[in-house]
Every structure is written in structure tokens, then in C-alpha cells.
Amino acid sequence: MDQVVQALDSFQIEIPSWGFANTGTRFGKFVQPGAATTLEEKFSDAAEVRRLTGATPTLALHVLWDLPNGVRDVPQVQALEQRFGIRAGSINPNLFQDQEYKFGSLCNPSAEVRQHAVDHMLESVEIAKQLNSRDVSLWLPDGSNYPGTQSMRKRIGWLEEALRATHAHLAPGQRLLIEYKPFEPAFYHTDIADWGMSSHLARTAGPQACVLVDTGHHYATQNIEQIVAWLLHTGLLGGFHFNDRRYADDDLTLGSIDPYQIFRIFHEIHSAKSDGLQLDVAFMVDQSHNLKGKIEATVQTVVTAQELWLKAALVDREELARRQQSCDLVAAEELFRGAFWRDVRPLAAAWRESRGLPAAPIAALREGGYVERISQERGGRHSTVNSYA
């Protein structure tokens, strides 16, 4: 039981503000009466998730969606932190909504547009400084749709320059997390398309830059845990955006399609810790709940993450290493799979009860009346859909 307690006590995962708001697809949106329409409501929903799970102390914020006035909105965020007991988490710049970003932001052929984008990055760093938020998390939509329409090499240089300028403004202890995505919204070439490009950009930006792995930002058959192993080995893994996908960036709830994949990723992290690597990896959720209830889906995600983290923690790594070394393939695989198939839900429930948390968080949410109350209070309002990527 000590191993269970240690694993679950150490596990924290950040939830996104946009997961509580009305979001949509390119085709439209389905409004939920309980969706958050203000930053105060997002903090309130985040506090409810933490009350039920005990694992979500921070809320990721999106500049423009959550801080439309930039640094001038910092006092409001600080007041909400105090009121709800939730800290501001990663700060996410927005480089995809302004009309001038039609042909790119940090990689735009126009030096004026590139400077505007860099200024936004620097303001995001300043927001993070004032909120004591460690991570500035960059997802860049830049790319092109047609061969011959852009110089890919020039855009690499512009991007390197922009990230070096951003890195130069980081405070000690802050980090720049550089995300990658193979396609969408660009379909011919994306300027940061894979982990190799992110790794190069992190190295050229400076020592406080790392790679951010979004589990939905890969081709369907890609071995994500191998990417994680490489990033752990090279010291470049900064964090995760967790979600699930059947085809591409589907933003489905974590583990809903392939829980075994998340288990395999967590195993690599536990193994690195067991081997003595000093890790500082941020776990963050990045999902858009368009059909499921937003708070319920977030609680479901966090509970699933806790259980998969615990399963991976309980792998007998010493015995696994012996079987790997002797190339006893079936025995090694059976030990590994056995940890995944183990039902850890009773262990997780016992840990929650020992920490004064509901043993069954989803049931507690349904029985507690929070969703019904906010649906009545918020149901008559309408919010602008976030352009969610």
C-alpha cells in the first residue's frame, strides 16, 4: 500500500480552462447550459474537479480567451486564485485567431506580423511571471497548404529567431514548452511538425526550452512512448497535453480509445525515475468536451489518469529488467501486460478515502448537485465559441 500512496500522492495533472467552455468544431457547436462563460466560472468548475479528485491544483489559461486584456487582467486572476484555491497554471499564447495571422504568425513572411506575434509571446511570458506560472506553452499553427507557396527554410530561421527572443525574456525557473503537430490547420507543411523539430527548436532557443508532447498530435500508428523515451534520454521532455484520438487531433477524453498507450507512456516515465533520471515533467489535459458533460468528462479524465499512473507504478521493474535482459519475450510481455490488466480501482478508492476525497468521484459529482445548480444559473447565457485547436 505504501507504493500506492506514494504514486497517487505524487501525481498531479493540470486541467484546461477551455475544457469548461462552449467549444466547437469547424462545423458548429452544441451549447451546454452548464458551460462556463466567464473566467470566474472556469475557476469554480476547476475547484469542483479538485474537490472530487485531489489531483488538479492548477488551471491552464489561454491568453485572449482568459486574459483578453493581457497583463491588465492579472489582478483578476490573482483574486480568483485566492477565492477558489486554484493556481494559474501554464500560460498558452494565442497565435491563430488574429486576421493578420492568415499566412502565419512567428513564421509569417511579413516582418511586421512576425514582430506582432513575438510581442504577444513576450506578453505571455510577462503574464506568467506576474502569476508565478512556470510554463509558457506554445502551440504554433503556422504552415502552408500548397507546394512552392512558402520558403520552408526561411520560416525555420524566423522561428528560431522568435523563440530565442522569447527565451531571453524568461525568468529563472520559467520554461518555454514547444509543442508539435503534424498537420492542421496547415495541410502541406507545418512549421513544427514533429518531436525532432521541437527538439531542435528547444536546443536553439536556450536551456529553459523543452518539448511538449500532445498525445493527439501524432499519426495514427506512431509509437508515442518511443518518442517519450528519446525525449527522456536527451533531457528535453518538458510536459504532456493528454487526450485521446481515433484518427488525429480528436481531443477525446484520455484513455477512451487506447488506455494501453497512456499506460505505456507512464511506464517510460516511471522507468526513467527508477533509473535515477531527474525529471520535471508537467502533466496537463488538453481536451474539448463537445458531447460529454464538461465537468463530468474532466473528472473522468483525471480519474483515468490516476488509475493508469498507478498501474504503471506497480510494474515490477526489477523483474521486468531481468526478463528483458534474458530476452524472455513472453514472460516480459506477460509481466508488463499483467500490470495493465490489474484492477487498481479499489486501491485508488481506498487512497481517496484516506485523503478525505470521495471514493467514486464521478458518482459524487452526479449526486452532489453542482452540475444541476450551475446549469440553472448559467443556462440562459451564451458564450462565443473558442477557436479550438
According to the model, what pLDDT value does residue 27 have? 82
Q: What is the pLDDT of residue 25?
A: 78
User: Quick count: other Cβ atoms within 10 Å of Cβ 283?
Assistant: 17
* CA–CA gap between residue 349 and residue 226 (Å, rounded): 31
Residue 235 DSSP symbol:
T
Nearest alpha carbon to residue 85 among 60, 57, 55: 57
What are the residue ranges spanned by the domains of the chain? 2-378
Of 198, 256, 199, 249, the closest CA to residue 219 belongs to 249
Extract the residue ranges of the chain whose pLDDT is less than 70: 380-389
CA distance 384 to 377: 18
Cβ(286)–Cβ(241) under 8 Å?
A: yes
Match domain 2-378 to its CATH number in 3.40.50.1820, 3.20.20.150, 1.10.240.10, 1.10.10.1800: 3.20.20.150
| Cα distances (Å, whole numbers) of residue 1 to 5, 255, 283, 314, 324 | 6, 25, 24, 10, 27
Closest CA to 242 of 154, 149, 320, 305: 305
The overall pTM is greater than 0.85: yes
Where do we find the cell 490547420? 185
